[in-house]
Amino acid sequence: MRRIAALSAALWLLALTGPARARAGSSSAVGTSGAQFLKIAPGARSAGMGQAYAGLADGVEAIYYNPAGLGDMMRVEITGMHDSYFQDIDYEFAALAVPMLSWVDSKKDKNAYGVVGAAVYDLSVQNIEQRSLTETDQPINTFGSTDLAYTLGYAYALPDTGLSLGVTAKFIDQTIDNVSASAFAADLGALYHLGELRLGAGVRNAGTQSKFVSEADPMPLTIFGGASYKVTDALLGSVEMDLPRDNSAVVAFGAEYRKRFADKLTGAARLGYNTANSEAGGWAGASFGLGVGYGNLNFDFAFVPFGDLGNTFRYSLTAKF
The one-character DSSP state at 86 is S
Helix, strand, coil percentages in the chain from 3-state DSSP, rounded to 5: 15, 50, 35
3-state secondary structure of 207: strand
Average pLDDT, the chain: 86
Give mean pLDDT, residues 183-204. 96
Banded model confidence at residue 102, pLDDT cuts 50, 70, 90: low
pLDDT at 309: 79
Q: Strands 179-194 and 163-176, how do they pair?
A: antiparallel
Count Cα neighbours of 198 within 13 Å in the Cβ-side half-sphere: 24
Q: Residue 266: count other Cβ atoms within 10 Å of its Cβ.
A: 17
Does residue 22 have a pLDDT over 50? no
Model pLDDT, residue 13: 44
| Confidence class for position 134, pLDDT limits 50, 70, 90 | low
- Which of 184-198, 216-230, 283-297, 299-313 shows the lowest mean pLDDT across its residues? 299-313
Determine the pLDDT at residue 260: 95
Mean pLDDT of 242-271: 95
Helix (H) or strand (E) holding 4: helix 2-21
Ramachandran angles phi, psi of 294, nearest 5°:
-135, 115
User: What's the CA angle centered on 236, arms 262 and 319, to 5 degrees?
Assistant: 50
Average pLDDT over residues 125-150: 74
Q: Reply yes or no on whether the pLDDT at 94 is more than 90.
A: yes
Could you read off the pLDDT of 65-79 as tens digits, one per residue? 999 999 999 999 999
- C-alpha distances (whole Å) from 210 to each of 26, 63, 86, 248 are 20, 22, 25, 22
Q: What is the pLDDT of residue 211?
A: 83
Overall average pLDDT of the 12-31 stretch: 48
Least confident of 99-103, 104-108, 295-299: 104-108
Answer yes or no: are the C-beta atoms of 77 and 96 closer than 8 Å: yes
Whether 5 and 161 have beta carbons less than 8 Å apart is answered as yes
Give the pLDDT band (50/70/90) at residue 137: low
Asked if 44 and 272 touch (Cβ cutoff 8 Å), the reply is no
Binned at pLDDT 50, 70 and 90, residue 105 comes out as: low
pLDDT tops 60 at residue 45: yes
- What is the rounded distance in angstroms from the CA atom of residue 174 to the CA atom of residue 207? 15
CA distance to 53, 224, 228, 285, 292, per residue, from 199 (Å):
10, 11, 7, 23, 27
Which has more confidence, 254 or 32? 254
